[in-house]
Every structure is written in structure tokens, then in C-alpha cells.
Amino acid sequence: MKRLILLTILFIMTFVTTACSDSYTQKHSAVNDEEEKDTLRIGLDDEPPTLDPHLSSSAVDRQVMHAVFDKLVDIDEDMEIVPKLAKDWDVSDDHKTYTFYLEEDVEFHDGTPFDADAVKFNFERMLDPEVGSARIDEVEEIEKVNVVDDYTVEVVLKDPHAPLLGALTDRAGMMVSPSAVEEMGGDFENHPVGTGPYEFIEKEKNNYIGVSRYEDYWDDEAKIENVIYEPYTDENIRTTNLTSGDIDLVSLVSPKDANKLEEDPSITVDSRDGNGYLGLHISKENEALGDENIREAIDYAVDREAIAKVAYEGGALPAIDAFPPENWAHNPDIEVPENGVEEAKKLVKESGVEDPSFTLNVPPSETDEDVGQMVQNMLAEVGITVSVEVQEHGQLLDSMESGNFDAIYLGWDGRVDPDESVSKFFMSDGYNNYDKIDDEELDSLLKEARTTLDEDKRATLYEEFSEKLFNLHEHVFLVHPDEIKAMKKNVEGFVHYPDGMVRPHELDFE
Amino acid sequence: MVSFIFRRIGLMIVVLFLVSVIIFSLVNILPGDPALMILGQDSSPEAIESLREELGLNKPLIQQYTNWMGNVLMGDLGESLNDNTGVTTLLMKKIPITMQLAVMSLLISIIIAIPAGILGAAKKGTFWDYISTTMALSGVALPPFWIGILLIFIFSITLGWLPPSGYVSFFEDPWRNILLMLMPAFALGIRSTAELTRMLRSSMVETLQSDFVRTGYAKGLMGMSVVFKHAFRNSLIPVITMSGLQLAALLGGVVIVETIFHIPGLGQLIYNAILERDFPVVQGGVLFIAFGVIIINFIVDIIYSLVDPRIKLGGQK
């Protein structure tokens, strides 16, 4: 009896302490206060697997690479393409030859010069089948690269390719040092050498990546001397380290955490509409999903607004096509009928499928599980049974590649050029066509949209594409999640670019 | 003694072999293609296939196993599929960190368990005993990750006394290194603390009731002297054994604590390697832990026999 009482007291005390503080307190962290403000600590959502832009395929790599590498061109806050290593460029009348005029007096961190030969080396490396670059689908259209003079280089395409410049604002445009690659071979990805405002210092696996200001940078020098990137896979630990620890900036914040952090006076939360989308990849092999009527019913039955409001706590926009409302390729006219749920119920009955059901795989995050459950409830209302299964990331990728799934909730974080957000997913020969969509019209629309450079014409084509895709009902778009970052109040100069990449050389401490 | 050692070594070889087969099989049963994980969604099917060839993933499993084992026996644990760092190099870097965590855990456990256990035994049946036993019970029941998060909440968020997570090498900043290890070591060791307390307490209770102690009382020795000099030392034997076993168990339990406190140790390494399907790292890491556990048990047995002259190794009378 006495023991029971003691245990109960112990538990009550613990719960009281836990329940007392609801919000994060702004106690100054127990950090070594002597540490001068010369180091910016950025909390990443994962450990970057590689720092070689030609081999990289994770979004998290790009964060670190943006400190170490410059691209040929960049984007501004409004997603317009602006000069970077290429100070200017011409496009030939047949749209197949791009001539880039390079900045002069630029050096790689190893002292070797950046010039047209280096650019040629970079493109050829991306195209080399032996290298097996992950950039291949971004640069496939390139036929050859010619060095005109030290600072002028021609990129010749097989066909006009509108997404090219967009691709060059990111990894495909990041210039690596040819001599470093030749010297280090496979080890280059652990010791990247670029022309960027920071040079790579060291990397400790699962611990941190350290970079330091490059004193001979050709453009505006970085303000903060050192940047340390630390991977925190658990989002709670990540945000805790922001509020009570050493991290100055977190590059990926969930909407739930964002709402909590906004109440913390020592933290700035910067949220902007995201450029990507999340939705259901569908396999027609499943009996229910193979039926057109059922799929149409799903598109009508899911309440996208509710998902954005509840599962994402307002940190997302409902999505009915691949492009968020801000994007020029967006189609504002696609609508789900007013009485969508009723329509859906009718469709399910019409389909003649007995007891339609399927399994929905979701990634292992709280938000994704919530979405899974919401979809499950919404579809149950119209007579479709969904069982939600949480699958760990590696398994999910595997399921998608092998086609071993009914439906998967996943998405894409969007790219500067609309083509890169859709062609590999929805073209019949796309590398990532998990829905196994095979529609001639879609193919030709996308093909035309990428081979013409006229933005207005392209916008019309994409609108047509989105409408057709919706009517096929072979992919269910759900939301455009917001792009959210959070940082300590004393971090200044942060500009939230649409590609979600932190450009640390622009930041400073108050 | 010699035959004991030989038998132990023989046993160790058998166990390690079994472990290697098990871990190799498990890792290969897992769905998920390492080549795909490395190259990611962006890549072409051709690139993925050529990487699979390069990594030898298309060879029959038996051959992959024998290749791997053959290398291991020559001291080569292979390279990480992820970034080609040698597995041995990675282990060498991470093991000291995890060892430090495990040892600190054990030390904290012992430091708490000794007074708690003695108190409980000496004041058996009183209020102090109940406190001690209750704490022990909670320690077994409460999971380390919950304790860990609770500690962060109390000491980092609310009080701001300690940084919530992170790791700094002892050689770089010894004070901060210890500071950062305090909470994780405590959280990790919570179960050990509990078990050691209970063990010591019941061992002492037994000893205190034994003949030679009563003889001591009869001879007129004071209570405290009896407790400390005689009873305590004799009760230590099972505790020593248990400490050794706890150390081995701690090695296995570090994953969650390392994740919560962002300590780049062996647990984190293996955990991330599993998620990334980095087979060589998982296999090498697990093999090492198995090896470590075996060695620790072996040493514990030796110490045990040295401490207690009644124990003869090899099970002889």
C-alpha cells in the first residue's frame, strides 16, 4: 500500500511538472555564452548522403551545396532567372543553342580557375553514363558543349528544351572543380570543391558538416564566418534545439511546430506558399482502383480543404493540380463538383465493384498518418474501405519502384520550371511514372510545352494538361504544403526563396 | 583455467558465426534496394542497375555472404555503400563515443544504486526502504526515451541548465563533453540503476541475515561497521556480475538515447545505416556489438572467479 502511494505521488509530480509549461519558454540556452557570433548553426532534417551535385538526389544535400557551390544562373524571390556564374546568355533563333558569357576572375576553392573548359567538364560529367549522374534527365537534351573562348561556352541541344535554364538554377548548374574531381575521384562527394561563398572544411558522419567563408569569393562575401550543418532526423529534437539549444536556423519545420514556434518571442517563423505538391499515387492493378468510376469518386470525395486545415493546421493549400496557385502554370478552373460526396457515392454504386477497398501506404510522420486517416474516413463515407499502412522511407521507395502498392501518399517539392515537376511523373516514359499513366494526349501536351519557349503558350498547354490529368483520375492531388523555416530572432537578412534553399552568405547576426 | 579459456574461445567463434549469418540474412530480407537509396528517385533505371552490378548486389546471396565473411576474417569490414568510408574507420570513430556513454551510464547507475541499495537493506521495511524500492520499480518500468525527453524538458527547456543535445569530443572540451553526456547517460542507465539497486539490496539483506554477520554482532561490532565492512563487500559479487552484463546490455540500448540526444555514436550509426540500407555498416556494426558483448561477459566471468574464491571457472566443484 505504501509503495502504491509513493508511486502515485511520483507520477503526479511528474505529470504536474510536464503539464505546467504549455509553451516553449524563452530561457536562454545553456550555451557557452563566450562563443562569438561567428558561427551559424543550421539544423537539417536529415544527414546529406552526398555533397556532389552531380550525384545528389536528396533535397537535404542541396542546402549544404548552396553554400559551397555557385550555379550558372540563380533565381530571385519571385522565381525569375537571374545571372550568377553566367553573367549573361543568348539563345539562338532555333532555341537549340545557348551561349553563356561567364564571369571572369572566378576561382574554385582549390585555386584553379573557373572558365569555359570547366563548364564543359561539368556538363560532360553529368552526361557520362559511367558516372551515372542523377542529373541525367535534366541534361539529356544536351547534344554537345563547345568552348568558344575562355569565358564563353555554347550548349547545343538536340531539341528546344524550355526547362534548361530552370534546371541550371540548381544542382545541374552547380559547377564543380574539374581538377578536384580528377584528383579525388570517388572521394569528391565527401570533400566538395566549388566556387561558392563558403568552402568545405570537414564532415563527421551523423554529426555535422562544417564550412568556412571563402576569402577570395568573386561576389559579395559572406557575412558570417562559419556555418555548421547538423542533421536531426527527429523533428521534435530539431525544434527543441532551436528554442533551447545551439541551433540558429531550422530548414524544415512542420506546420504543427510552426504554430507553436510563432508564440515564442525568441524565434522568427518564416512561412511561404510551397512550390510542390503531395498526393496519392495510384496503381490500377488494384480491383477498385482499376475502375474509372471509383477513381473519379475518390477525386470527388476527398475534402482537400479539410486536409489542409486539419492535418496541416493551415500550413498547406488544397491542390487539384501539380502547380500551386502562385505558379504561372497553374490551372485555376479545375473544380470538384459542389455535391462531390453525393456524386462520389453514385459513382461507387455505378462502378459495380463489390466492396471496393485498397491499402494506402504513408510515410512515417505524424502529419502523413493524419492525412491517411482523414482520407480513410472520407472514402468510408462514400463506400470505399481504405486501410492505412505506415511504411518507412526505404520501403516506400521500394514499393513505388517495384509497383508493389495500391496507393501511396507522396509528392514532389516542385522545381523552378513546371516541366520538371510533372514530366517524369506523368509522361508515359517518365522515370518516375509510378501511376503508370499512358496517355498520348498528355504526352504530346507535355512534349510541346517543353519544346517551346513562349511562356504564355506554355501556360495554356499546362492548363490543358492539368485538366486532362484530372479527368483521367489516375493521380489524386491533395495539398501544396507550405515551405516553413524558423530561426532565432537574432538571425537577419533571411530571404525566403521559392526553392526553399537557405543562402547562408546573405545571413548575419544582429 | 586454460581449458576454460579454450572452451570460451570456441564458443565465441560459434556465436559470432551465428550472429553473422543472422544479421546478413535479416539485412537482405529487408525490402529496399541500396542502389536505389543511394541514387535516389531522380536516377535512371540504367544507373541503378549499373550500381547494383558494381556493388555486387546481383550475385547469389551465398556468394555475397562468403565474400563478406572472407574479408571480415582478414580484418576488412568493407566500405559504407553510402560514401565509401571504411566501415572499420567509422566504427573506430563511433565506438569510443558510445563506450563513453555506456560507461558513464554504468557509473551513474552504480553511484546511485550503492547508497540506495544499502539504505534499502539496512533500513529494511522502513520508509527509506520503500522509497528506494519504489525508485527501483519505476526505473524498470519507465522507458529511457521517456525519461530522456523528460530530462530535456526539465533541465533544458524549463530550467535552461543544460543544452538539450549534442556532442563535443572530450579532448576538445572536457567539461562540456561531460555536461552533454549527463542526461543521456542517466536516461540510458535508468534500468540498470533500478536493477542494481534491487540486486544490491536483496543481496545485502541476505548477507545481513547470514551467520557470519550475526557472529559479528555477537562479538560486539557496531552496526555501521558490520554493514559496510562485512556485509557490503560480500554482497558485491552478484552486483559485479550484473554490472558487467548491464554494460553489455547498455551497448545494445543506446540507439534511442543517441537519437534523442543527437549523439553521433554507434547506435545512431547502425540505425541510420538500416534506414539507408547500408548493408556493410549494419553487418559490421552488429558483428562488433556481438563481439563486444561476448568479450565483456568473458571478462566478467574472470573477475567473478577472482573476487570469489569459492567460484572455480569451468564448473568444477
- pLDDT tens digits for range B272-286: 888 888 889 999 998
Q: Does A185 touch chain B (CB under 8 A)?
A: no
Checking if the pLDDT of B141 tops 90, the result is no
Asked if A431 lies within 8 A of B275 by C-beta distance, the reply is no
Q: Does A243 touch chain B (CB under 8 A)?
A: yes
- What is the per-residue pLDDT for A16? 54
Give Cβ neighbours of residue A440 (< 8 Å, ≥ 6 apart). Answer: A428
- pLDDT tens digits for range A207-254: 899 999 999 999 999 999 999 999 988 888 899 899 888 899 999 998
Please, what is the average pLDDT of chain B? 82
Q: Which three cell numbers stand for residue B137?
A: 520499480
Checking if the pLDDT of A159 tops 90, the result is yes
Nearest-Cα distance to chain A for B43, in Å, is 5
Q: Rounded to whole angstroms, what are the CA distances from B86 to B52, B77, B89, B261, B277?
A: 19, 7, 5, 25, 16
Checking if the pLDDT of A18 tops 90, the result is no
Question: How many CB pairs lie under 8 A apart between chains A and B?
Answer: 165
Asked if B262 lies within 8 A of A230 by C-beta distance, the reply is yes
Is residue A150 helix, strand or coil?
A: coil
CB A439 within 8 A of CB A424: no
Bridge partners of A385, per DSSP, are A357
Which residues in chain A touch residue B38, judged by CB atoms under 8 angstroms apart? 49
Of residues A13 and A305, which shows the higher confidence score? A305
DSSP A109: T
Phi then psi for A365, rounded to 5 degrees? -125, 155
B92-96: list long-range contacts, CB under 8 Å, 24+ apart: B93/A204, B93/A205, B94/B264, B94/B265, B94/B266, B94/B268, B94/B269, B95/B265, B95/B266, B95/B288
Task: Enumerate residues 246 to 275 of chain A having a beta carbon within 8 A of any beta carbon in chain B.
Answer: 246
- pLDDT tens digits for range B83-136: 778 899 889 988 888 888 888 888 888 888 888 887 777 777 778 788 888 888
Parallel/antiparallel/unpaired status of strands A198-204 and A226-231? unpaired
Looking at A81-90, A181-190, B190-199, B209-218, which range is the least confident one?
B209-218
Other beta carbons within 10 angstroms of residue B13's beta carbon come to 11
- pLDDT tens digits for range A332-350: 999 888 888 999 999 999 9
Asked if B134 lies within 8 A of A206 by C-beta distance, the reply is no
Which of A202, A205, A230 to mutate to probe the B interface, most B CBs <10 Å? A205
Looking at A260-264, A446-450, B124-128, B153-157, which range is the least confident one?
B124-128
- What is the per-residue pLDDT for A382? 93
From A326, A274, A321, select the one nearest A461 (Cα to Cα): A321
Parallel/antiparallel/unpaired status of strands A152-157 and A97-102? antiparallel
CB A31 within 8 A of CB A245: yes
From A223, A146, A135, select the one nearest A175 (Cα to Cα): A135
Q: Which three cell numbers stand for residue B291?
A: 563481439
The full 3-state SS of B54-89, as one line of letters, equals HHCCCCCHHHHHHHHHHHHHCCCCCECCCCCCEHHH
Give Cβ neighbours of residue B123 (< 8 Å, ≥ 6 apart). Answer: B129
Checking if the pLDDT of B266 tops 80, the result is yes
From B55, B17, B13, B15, select the one nearest B279 (Cα to Cα): B55
Checking if the pLDDT of B313 tops 70, the result is no
Closest CB to B158 among A25, A136, A399: A25
Asked if A132 lies within 8 A of B157 by C-beta distance, the reply is no
Closest CB to A395 among B31, B90, B157: B31
- What is the per-residue pLDDT for B21? 92
Give Cβ neighbours of residue A21 (< 8 Å, ≥ 6 apart). Answer: B153, B157, B158
Q: Which three cell numbers stand for residue B285?
A: 556494426
How far apart, in whole angstroms, are the C-alpha atoms of residue A220 and residue A222? 7
Q: What average pLDDT does the segment A429-447 reach?
A: 91
Q: Rounded to whole angstroms, what are the CA distances from A158 to A96, A141, A457, B272?
A: 7, 6, 21, 42
DSSP A160: -
pLDDT confidence band for A20 (50 / 70 / 90): very low
Host H or E run for residue A362: strand A357-362
CB A410 within 8 A of CB A363: yes
Checking if the pLDDT of B314 tops 80, the result is no
pLDDT confidence band for B297 (50 / 70 / 90): confident
Q: Does A205 touch chain B (CB under 8 A)?
A: yes
Task: Quickly list H helices, A352-432.
Answer: 366-381, 393-402, 419-426
Task: Enumerate residues 21 to 60 of chain A having a beta carbon within 8 A of any beta carbon in chain B.
Answer: 21, 24-25, 27-32, 47, 49-50, 55-58
CA atoms within 13 A on the CB side of A447: 11
CB A441 within 8 A of CB A302: no
Q: Does B143 touch chain A (CB under 8 A)?
A: no
Looking at A28-37, A66-75, B111-120, which range is the least confident one?
A28-37
Checking if the pLDDT of A31 tops 60, the result is no
How far apart, in whole angstroms, are the C-alpha atoms of residue A37 and residue A31? 12
Nearest-Cα distance to chain A for B265, in Å, is 8
Asked if B157 lies within 8 A of A25 by C-beta distance, the reply is yes
Task: Enumerate residues 325 to 364 of chain A having a beta carbon within 8 A of any beta carbon in chain B.
Answer: none
Q: What average pLDDT does the segment A186-198 reach?
A: 93
- What is the per-residue pLDDT for B228? 66
Asked if A398 lies within 8 A of B36 by C-beta distance, the reply is yes
Task: Quickly list H helices, chain B.
Answer: 2-29, 34-39, 45-55, 61-73, 87-122, 127-141, 144-151, 174-188, 190-208, 211-219, 223-225, 233-260, 266-276, 279-307
Q: What is the interface pTM, i.e. ipTM, of the complex?
A: 0.75
- What is the per-residue pLDDT for A411? 87
CB B101 within 8 A of CB B180: no
Most confidently predicted of A77-91, A396-410, B57-71, B250-264: A77-91
Phi then psi for B118, rounded to 5 degrees? -65, -45
Look up cell 522511407; give the residue. A393
- What is the per-residue pLDDT for B4? 80
Q: What is the share, in percent, of chain A residues with pLDDT greater than 70? A: 93
Q: What average pLDDT does the segment A449-464 reach?
A: 94
Of residues A262 and B218, which shows the higher confidence score? A262
Checking if the pLDDT of A483 tops 60, the result is yes
Checking if the pLDDT of B234 tops 60, the result is yes
Q: What average pLDDT does the segment A143-167 reach?
A: 95
The length of chain A is: 510
Across A126-225, the runs of DSSP E, i.e. the strands, are 142-149, 152-157, 198-204, 208-213
Nearest-Cα distance to chain B for A58, in Å, is 7
- What is the per-residue pLDDT for B209? 76
Q: Which three cell numbers stand for residue B105?
A: 551510464
Checking if the pLDDT of A155 tops 90, the result is yes
Give the nearest chain A residue to B152 (CA atoms): A240
Give the nearest chain B residue to A231 (CA atoms): B262
Q: What average pLDDT does the segment A354-376 reach?
A: 93
Asked if B272 lies within 8 A of A206 by C-beta distance, the reply is yes
Q: Rounded to whole angstroms, what are the CA distances from A133 to A122, A137, B47, B201?
A: 11, 9, 8, 63
Checking if the pLDDT of B267 tops 70, the result is yes
Of residues A34 and A210, which shows the higher confidence score? A210
Q: What average pLDDT does the segment B66-72 reach?
A: 89
Asked if B43 lies within 8 A of A134 by C-beta distance, the reply is yes
Please, what is the average pLDDT of chain A? 89
Task: Quickly list H helices, A201-253.
Answer: 235-244
pLDDT confidence band for A13 (50 / 70 / 90): low
Residue A298 burial (C-beta neighbours within 10 Å; 0-12, 13-18, 19+) = buried
Q: Does A14 touch chain B (CB under 8 A)?
A: yes
Q: What is the dihedral of CA B84, B89, B92, B98, to 10 degrees?
A: -10
Q: Does B40 touch chain A (CB under 8 A)?
A: yes
Asked if A398 lies within 8 A of B137 by C-beta distance, the reply is no
Q: Rounded to whole angstroms, what are the CA distances from B11 to A79, B296, B312?
A: 65, 14, 19
End-to-end CA separation in angstroms for chain B? 13
**Model confidence, pTM:** 0.83
Q: Which three cell numbers stand for residue A346?
A: 453514385
Residue A156 burial (C-beta neighbours within 10 Å; 0-12, 13-18, 19+) = middle
From A223, A386, A373, A370, select the one nearest A298 (Cα to Cα): A386
Give the nearest chain A residue to B262 (CA atoms): A232
